[in-house]
Amino acid sequence: MTYYNTSHLKNPALGKAEQGAKNQEDLILDFFVDNPHLKFTPSYVWNHFESQGKQWPITSVRRAITNLTKRGVIEKCITQKTGIYDMPEYEWKLKIEKETLFD
């Protein structure tokens, strides 16, 4: 499940919220895929999409990043940068499977 129904929504509002969360995750994953060797904080991802007119709460971006990490498509790095609240944030990157030299 991509949407956490903490506000106890019922259908059809719940279905709309779930679809919106899925679309958001897809867009964020596409962003990581388009930048496969770079690392990003949640704040950076949030700023990137806000500059494109997306009005997402930072908590929604963090939720999407958590879900993508659980799915195994992005991974948390050990490096940190200062985020939008002047606090350190971990960076994430696309998870790329290591290829063997003899394939």
CATH classification of the domain holding 40: 1.10.10.10
Look up the domain containing 32 and give its range. 13-94
pTM of the model as a whole: 0.76
- Please indicate, yes or no, if residue 4 is contained in any of the structural domains: no
- Please indicate, yes or no, if residue 3 is contained in any of the structural domains: no
Q: Is the pLDDT of residue 54 over 70?
A: yes
Dist. CA 41–CA 86, nearest whole Å: 12
Q: Is the pLDDT of residue 12 over 90?
A: no
77, 91 Cβ separation under 8 angstroms: yes
Total domain count for the chain? Answer: 1
Q: pLDDT of 62-78, one tens digit each?
A: 999 999 999 999 999 99
- Please indicate, yes or no, if residue 99 is contained in any of the structural domains: no
